[in-house]
Every structure is written in C-alpha cells, then in structure tokens.
C-alpha cells in the first residue's frame, strides 16, 4: 500500500531513524522507501548503517516498514535503479581500508597456513620449528624441546608471538579467523588500529606463556588464544563503558566461556578434533581482561578535567 508524504527534501537537519549492522543488505529496503517517496539517506557509522530522514513522521514509517522488511512482508520492488552489487575484490579492498590491521592479521595467518599443514617429520631448521614457542635442539640424532630461558638466550624473541600464526587444519584456521574478523574489526573501530594490535600482541604473549607453563613441552599454535583475548577485552570495556559498547552479543561471551570450561574437562579432545590448548585459551582471556581494564582506566583518566 502506497502512503503519501509531504516531506521537505533532505537538508542539513536529519533524524537518525534506524541503525542496523553494516553487513545487512539494505538495497531492497532502500528501493521500497524510494518507491514510497520517503526521503532518506543511508550512511555507514562505525560498524552500523544509519538511515537518516527529515522528520519524526518519516522515522516512524521507516521503523514500522523495517519490521515488515525483516518479516518478509514488504512488496518486492524492481532493481532497475538499484546500485550495482560490489565485487569480491571491491569488498576485500573496502575491508582493508576500514579495518586495516584486522585484515593484515588475517592475511598473515593465511600466508603461513601451509607451514602447519601435513606435518610428519619436523626439521629443527624448518620454518615451522623456527615459529614454535621454544627451540628444538638435535642431540645425537634425537630432537628435544629446549627451555624458554635457553630460547630467549639465543635472541629468538619472536617465538613469544609467532605460534599464533600457525594452524593445523582448515577447521582450525576458519574457526579462528571468523572470530578475529567479527571481534577484531569492532575493537579496531572503537579503539583504533594501534590499540587493537596492542591487545593482539599482549593476548598472544599471555596465551603462549601460560600454555607453556601449564602443559608439557609440545607443538602448539593458533589464533584461538588471541580470540579469547579479544573477547576478554571487549567484555570489560563494554560492561564498563556501555555508551561505547564494542557490540559483541552477550550470547557470544557465554558461548566462549562455556567452551573454555568444557575444554578443561577433556571432552573436546575425545571428539577427535585434536588436542585443545586450554592454557592458551585461559592465558589469552586473562590478557584481554587486563588490556580491557587498562583501556577503561585510560578512558576515565582522559575524562577527568585538569585541576586549576
């Protein structure tokens, strides 16, 4: 049903009628609004799309129409005047432009993915061995893990961080990188690129150190410790500063905490999906909780007016 509006054209004074996630395709909804002659403008603000309209009457109409749109009750409108869909290359370029360090982190993990796949024998001089947390040493043809003290004494400090780039299966890397994308880009948007990389590095360090301390020497790797760190950071920040919520649903926090707890029971190992680095998960979470707390303290400190 067509509704007649007598709106003035869009000017400088606009009303925020609706905010939805940026990954929701609003092209069909925008065509419907155009067919109803509802003046509107759609912009991207952080991780959301905002629909702007000239007055309250238009805002009420947009909100009611969007409920029908989500329920599939709006009539279809032809796409003749629709904006062409973006290609995959355009979407990737746009993602690099908006979330540069999140995308670089994902790209580096993909670049090193072949290193951890199909491992049989591990040479002490291989790239895989050089990216593990501690050095492998060869003693009369037998390979042994060295201590962290010996490793750092050799100047190989990069090993404190490089295990996060090693993944051992497609399931392993896809699961981790999807979470890096979903949570990392939100933190990068709210706190900026350098703060985001600081959270990643500290979470990685905490994850690798605690895994080393809690378990016998072994090959371990993956971005899951960092994922738990990103979650911990987002949780502390969002609960302490709700006006600048990072936007992770509460259900995600609950799911990850349950997953962490189940991991310590050994139940996941019994499914045949590989051994779970529970120490890395816990260490990453603790690291993220600390960076989140630090971010909150710095935020409050910046809000305190200087004394005269």
162-175 pLDDT, tens per residue?
A: 999 999 889 889 99
- Which helix (DSSP H) or strand (DSSP E) does residue 153 occupy? helix 148-153
Q: Is the dihedral of CA 216, 222, 224, 225 positive or negative?
A: positive
Active site residue 300: no
Where, residue-wise, is CATH 1.20.1540.10 in the chain? 91-303
Kindly report the pTM of this predicted structure.
0.73
Fold classification of 15-85 is: Alpha-Beta Plaits (3.30.70)
pLDDT for 210: 95
Where, residue-wise, is CATH 3.30.70.2080 in the chain? 15-85
Quick check: 273 pLDDT over 90?
A: no
User: 281 by DSSP, 3-state: which?
Assistant: helix
Quick check: 79 pLDDT over 70?
A: no
pLDDT tens digits, residue range 91-145? 888 888 888 999 999 999 999 999 888 666 677 788 888 999 998 887 877 788 8
Let me know: does 213 contact 130? Beta carbons within 8 Å.
no
Q: Is the dihedral of CA 187, 192, 196, 198 positive or negative?
A: negative
Active site residue 126: no
Which position among 40, 224, 233, 238 bears the catalytic label? 224
User: 16 by DSSP, 3-state: which?
Assistant: strand
Among the ranges given (140-154, 173-187, 267-281), the one the predictor scored with the smallest mean pLDDT: 267-281
Within 8 A by CB and 6+ apart from 48, the residues are 19, 20, 21, 22
- Neighbour count for residue 263 (Cβ, 10 Å): 18
Q: Does domain 91-303 have CATH number 1.20.1250.20?
A: no
pLDDT tens digits, residue range 183-198? 999 999 889 899 999 9
What share of the chain in percent tops pLDDT 70?
87
Let me know: does 32 contact 9? Beta carbons within 8 Å.
no
Query: Long-range contact list for 270-274, CB < 8 A, 24+ apart?
Result: 273/171, 274/168, 274/169, 274/172
């Amino acid at each position: 049903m067509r509704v007649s509006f007598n709106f003035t054209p869009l000017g400088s004074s606009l009303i925020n009628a609706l905010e939805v996630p940026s990954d929701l395709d609003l092209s069909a909804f925008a065509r419907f609004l155009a067919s109803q002659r509802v003046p509107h403008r759609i912009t991207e603000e952080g991780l959301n799309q905002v629909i702007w309209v000239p007055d309250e009457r238009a805002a009420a109409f947009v909100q009611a129409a969007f409920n029908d749109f989500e329920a599939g009750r709006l009539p279809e409108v032809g796409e003749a005047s629709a904006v062409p869909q973006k290609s995959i290359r355009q979407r990737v370029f746009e993602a690099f432009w908006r979330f540069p360090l999140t995308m670089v982190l994902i790209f580096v993990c993909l670049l090193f993915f072949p290193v951890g796949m199909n491992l049989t024998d591990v040479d002490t001089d291989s790239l895989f061995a050089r990216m593990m947390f501690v050095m492998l040493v060869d003693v009369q043809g037998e390979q042994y893990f060295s201590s962290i003290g010996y490793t750092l004494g050799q100047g190989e400090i990069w090993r404190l961080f490089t295990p996060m780039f090693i993944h051992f299966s497609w399931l392993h890397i896809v699961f981790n990188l999807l979470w890096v994308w979903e949570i990392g880009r939100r933190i990068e948007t709210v706190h900026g690129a350098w703060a985001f990389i600081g959270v990643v590095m500290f979470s990685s360090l905490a994850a690798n150190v605690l895994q080393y301390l809690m378990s016998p020497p072994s090959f371990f790797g993956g971005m899951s410790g960092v994922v738990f760190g990103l979650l911990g950071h987002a949780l502390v920040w969002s609960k302490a500063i709700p006006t600048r919520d990072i936007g992770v649903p509460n259900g995600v926090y609950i799911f990850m905490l349950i997953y962490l707890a189940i991991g310590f029971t050994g139940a996941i190992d019994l499914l045949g999906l590989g051994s779970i680095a529970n120490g890395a998960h816990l260490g990453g979470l603790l690291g993220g909780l600390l960076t989140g707390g630090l971010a909150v303290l710095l935020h409050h400190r910046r809000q305190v007016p200087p004394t005269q």
